[in-house]
Structure formats: structure tokens, C-alpha cells
Amino acid sequence: MSRTALGWIALGASASLVLSACGSGGDDGGPGEFDQGVSEVVNSSDEKGGTLRYAITSDIESTDPGNTYYGYMWNFSRYYARTLYTYASEPGQAAREVVPDLAKGQPEVGNDGKTYTVKLKEGLTYEDGSEIVAEDIKFNIARSNFGPDALPGGPKYYKEHLAKSGDYEGPFTDAEDPLEGLGGVETPDDHTLVFHLKEKFVDFPYVLVQPQSSPVPVDTEKPGERYQASPISSGPYKFEDEWTSGDGLALVRNDEWDPESDPIRTALPDRITVEEGVDQNEIDQRLQNGELDVDLAGTGLGPGAKGEAVNDEATKTRLDNPENQAHYFMNVNTKVEPFDDLACRQAVQYAVDRGSVQRAWGGKTGGTKATQVLPPAVPGANAEYNAYPSQDGEGDIDEAEAKLEECGEGGGFSANLAVRSDRPAEVRAGESIKESLERAGIDVTIEQFPTKQFSTSRVGSPDYVQENELGLALHGWMPDWLTGYGYFSQILHGSAIKKASNYNVAEFDNEEFNKTLDQVVKMDDPQVRAEEYEKLDQLVMEEAVLVPMVFHKPVLYRPDNLTNVYFNPSWKMYDYMTLGTTET
């Protein structure tokens, strides 16, 4: 396999467009205006230097680009992991465009939509100076999707959609060639990948954006999760030291990165740091004191600081309150009694006071009350649909009690509700839900778990859920991309149910839903697809496996020293690749 540098070709959206885009906090920096970062760049600057400081309440999920599923890491990992494609570095609707990153241009689509050919830019290198080649991307896809040693944390879209992958046992076998048998991806030369799909899949370009399409050298690791200690950088920053979960991390400049080949990343700071396990109230205070720059999670100020900040006119100019396409809902597990009975699930739907839940998330600035599954920005969302109407969103206790009688639980029953302990708004919402359900005779015990365990070994483990009778679980989901498939597939399709890191927490496996979702992504007409997604949304609501809560609106705080700040709707938070700081 050759690693000879052959030059480069740069395509895609220009980073200079971001730096020169309309909008500023004023000639001397300044705070800007309320919600300015939703539609334009605030505090534009091309000033380099300084340290950009992040913090997060939990431990980082994983720094391995093949083993991560939280949106904040899909955004942040781009500092050190370039992908085949990415989203345009622009505020507003322009940010929804898929543009080349490692790729030279858009993929060539053939064979009735079942073949995608991608050409790589040439001459790109890792931090050690070795060349990035096509097999390295194929290896990351293999290690994160295939075989018994596949990394558990990320999605499995490649495994689900690549052709001839059923017999492939993964890269960590005794085979001389660790990629032999992965026929769904061909690498005819060092700079070409050919993806063969089982069936037409119109959303495949969005899969090529994800961190699993970043390169990992074939000879760098053995099975397991050790790579995350110090991923080999293909981006503008590399790890200063090995990362240990909970200890935080620091990134420094990667001198082998070629800015001419990368129109997405401005690479303004000299250094980037992340603190882990910091209390939300402390993060909020330090942001406002100028001691931090960004809350890594991207979920905004906590309940304590949110109302205070929004109501203070001076502070409000530093806030953005966008709709981020996140839907916070409650899963109702179909395998935990008595929720295996439809009427018992429907009783929960009727009993919940959505107005109270909305207030727990911060009222109207925290989000809008939801009555369907799909967030408003996703084609097929219908805000008028409500399968469980109740006056003023306070719930319908009479109807809830009638449903309890129908499922044989007329005297009520006990249930456990799981929430993430390091998400204050979710804890408060859990308490609100507990009060709501107890009005109908459903006695709720709240079980709290830290975020890192929540989605992997607790709520993300069907065995653990059933052994501990976690019939209810508060969760949130952002679409992996803005289509119905990008929202539904990992949380509601039966094939998404996994033994660990399971996001189909309701364990919903409905034949009609699965079959229809599989067929929609073969349809060329986007209007027809939207109509089908609307029907699927209604089916989920009729089956009562998700209780809609709020479509989230974070209150994001931007310190005066933070430059080039704007909300990117594709990353659902600030675009981390353009940020700089005036602090040295």
C-alpha cells in the first residue's frame, strides 16, 4: 500500500466565507444581540492564538471517532478526525449542505443508486507524516461495524446497508488481510473507495458525513477500545497526551495538517482543552465569568442559570435560543410488565402533564410542547397531530384511569423511571413526570444514572432494563440527519435493538413500521417520503411507545472573547470548527 504524497485538490465550502459573513459583535468584539448567532456569525475574526476552553458535566463518551454517538463528539472530533464529507461551515439553512472534506468532490452514484464512488484528495497526511489512503477509511468502517469485536458505541449504518457483508467476521481475525471479505467497500487504489449497497438508499450521503468515515491506519491497533487514548490525527489538532476518561484532554496543533486542503476548519486557537465531570452550575457560572468558553455538550445553560440569564437584559445579548431538532421524550419499554400491554402504555400517555414537563425544561425558552415524534424541521413532522389530546396539556386522568382498567391495572401499579443524573433539567422533568403519573395511581421511583453509563450499560442494556424493571426512561434524540429515516432508524427500527449501547430503548419491533421505513429510503420523491414518515410517526404514537415531551430549545451562552460564533443546524449546536478566542 503506497503512502506517496501526490498533491491535493481543495473543494467544498470556503472557511473564508464564515470569517467574512455578515454579523459581528461590534468593532471591539462585544456581545452582539439576542439570537444573533442563530442566523449569522457573531464576533467575526481571523485572529489566531490562545486557548479555547471547553467543559462538560459528564465524562466524554469516547474520543474514538469510530465509537461515538453523542452529537457533541461528532462535532468536536472533527478537530482531529477528518471525514469523507461534512456539512458546510455556514449559519442557517446553508449549513444543511453536504460538502467534501477528505473527498475531492461529490460521490458518483451508479447502478440505480446502489453504488457510490468517492475519490480522495491526494497528499493528505496524519500527524506522523504518513499518507492517508482509502484502506484506512475502509478499516475504520470495518472496526466500528463488523465482527464480534466491533466497537459498540456508534451507529451501524454501514453494516445495515453495505452489500456482501453478512459473512465478514470483522478486521480482528487471524486472516492475513483484515479487510478481506468486506465486499461492500472496494479500494481499487489508494485514493478511491467504491461503496456497494444492498439496496437503494437515498440517504447514504449523510452516512458518509459521520465520524466512522474518518481514517484510522490499518496497523495501529488490536481489538478493543484502546485507540481512544490517543487517536491519530488527520485534522488540525492532535492529542497533547494520552486521554484517560474523566481526566480531561488537551489538543495542540498538528503541523502535518494542510490548511489548503481543508476549507472547513479555521484552526484559530493554539490549544484546545476539555474539562470533564464539572457541575452544570459551575459551568454556567464560569462561562459568564470568562473562565470557560464553551459548554461541550451543546445543550445550553442549566435550569438555574437559564431563567436568570434570559431575564437579564445585559446578559441576554450573549444568548442564542435556537430550535436544535432535539426531542426529549419518555420511552415506554414494551418488554417490561405491565407496559407490554398497549392500554397500560396509553394510560401513561394520557396521564402526563406536558405543561409541567415544559416548565421543568425552562418554559417556552426551554422548548415547545410536543405531541408527535418527529422534530419540526424534519420533513413529515405534523405539529397538528395529537393522538392523546388533553386540555391545556395537563393530562386526562379520567382517560388514563380508564386505560388502567382496560389493561387490568385498575388499582394502579409501580414503575421505575430512569434519568441521567448529570442533566439537571432531565432530573427536574423526571420529578414532574412522577407527579403527573401518581395522579392516575402509577407510583414512580426515579432511578438516576450518569450519562456515560446511561446509554451503554444501564438504559442502553436490554438485559439490565428488564432485570431492574426500568419500564420508563427519559431520553432525548437528535436526528442523525434531517430526514425521517435519520431520526427514526436507530430509536424505533427493530433491527436497531442491541445488547449494549441500545438506543431503541422501548425495544419497539413492529413489522409494519420496519417494513415501511425500509421502503421509504428507496423512494426518489421527497414529498412522498415525507408523507410516509408522517404515517410512521402516527403509528408510533398509536402504539404509545414514546411519550412526547418537548422539542428542545437550548439557551446557549457565548462569552465576549469567543469569535466566529454561530449555531449550525446540522450539528445542532455551535459549529466548533470555526471558533476562536481573543484571550491569550
Which has the closest alpha carbon to 271: 285, 254, 258? Answer: 254
Dist CA 420 CA 423 (whole Å): 6
Residues 518 and 576 in one domain: no
Query: Considering the domain boundaries, does residue 480 fall inside one?
Result: yes
Domain assignment of residue 297, yes or no: no
Q: What is the CATH number of the domain that holds 208?
A: 3.40.190.10
526, part of any domain: yes
Q: What is the mean pLDDT of the chain?
A: 92
pLDDT in tens, 176-189: 899 999 999 999 99
Domain annotation covers residue 395:
yes
367 and 253, same domain (yes or no): no
Please measure the distance between the N-terminal and C-terminal CA atoms of the chain and give it in whole angstroms.
Answer: 43
Cα angle value 133/136/137 (rounded, 5°)? 100
Q: How many CA atoms lie within 13 A of 384 on its CB side?
A: 1
Q: Is the pLDDT of residue 16 over 80?
A: no
* Within-domain flag for 284: no
What pLDDT, on the 0 to 100 scale, is given for residue 15?
Answer: 41
Least confident range from 92-101, 164-173, 286-295, 558-567: namely 164-173
Query: Nine-digit cell at 249?
Result: 484532554
Q: How far is CA 558 from CA 35, 38, 276, 290, 451, in A?
A: 11, 12, 20, 10, 24
Residues 35 and 181 in one domain: yes
Determine the pLDDT at residue 27.
42
Query: Within this chain, do residues 400 and 424 fall inside the same structural domain, yes or no?
Result: yes
Does residue 280 lie in a domain region?
no
CB 162 within 8 A of CB 196: yes
* Furthest C-alpha separation in the chain: 74
**pLDDT score of 17 more than 80:** no
Task: For residues 247 and 344, state if they share a domain.
Answer: no
Cβ-count burial 38-54 (b if 16+ within 10 Å, e if not) = bebbbbbbeeeebbbbb
Reported as a pLDDT band with limits 50, 70 and 90, residue 142 is very high
Residue 566 and residue 483 share a domain: no
Do 402 and 437 lie in one domain? The reply is: yes
Q: What is the CATH number of the domain that holds 349?
A: 3.10.105.10
Indicate if 148 and 267 belong to the same structural domain.
yes
Residues 344 and 214 in one domain: no
**Is the confidence at residue 8, as pLDDT, over 70?**
no
Clarify whether residues 178 and 211 are in a common domain. yes
Q: Are residues 221 and 343 in the same domain?
A: no
- The burial class, CB within 10 Å (0-12 / 13-18 / 19+), for 65 is buried
pTM, whole model, 2 decimals? Answer: 0.88
Confirm whether 308 is domain-assigned. Answer: no
Q: Please check whether residue 321 lies inside any domain of the structure.
A: no
pLDDT in tens, 413-440: 999 999 999 888 899 999 999 999 999 9
User: How many domains does the chain contain in total?
Assistant: 2
Does a cis peptide bond (omega within 30 degrees of 0) precede residue 322?
A: no
Q: What is the mean pLDDT of residues 18-29?
A: 47
pLDDT tens for 537-584 read: 999 999 999 999 999 999 999 999 999 999 999 999 999 999 999 986
81 versus 224: which is more confidently predicted?
A: 81
pLDDT for the residue 126: 98
Domain that includes residue 410, residue range: 327-552
Q: Are residues 205 and 178 in the same domain?
A: yes
- At 365-407, the pLDDT tens digits run 999 999 999 999 999 999 999 999 875 678 999 999 999 999 9
Burial annotation 106-138 (CB, 10 A radius, 16+ → b, else e): bbebeeebbbbebbbbbbbbbbeeebbbbbbbb
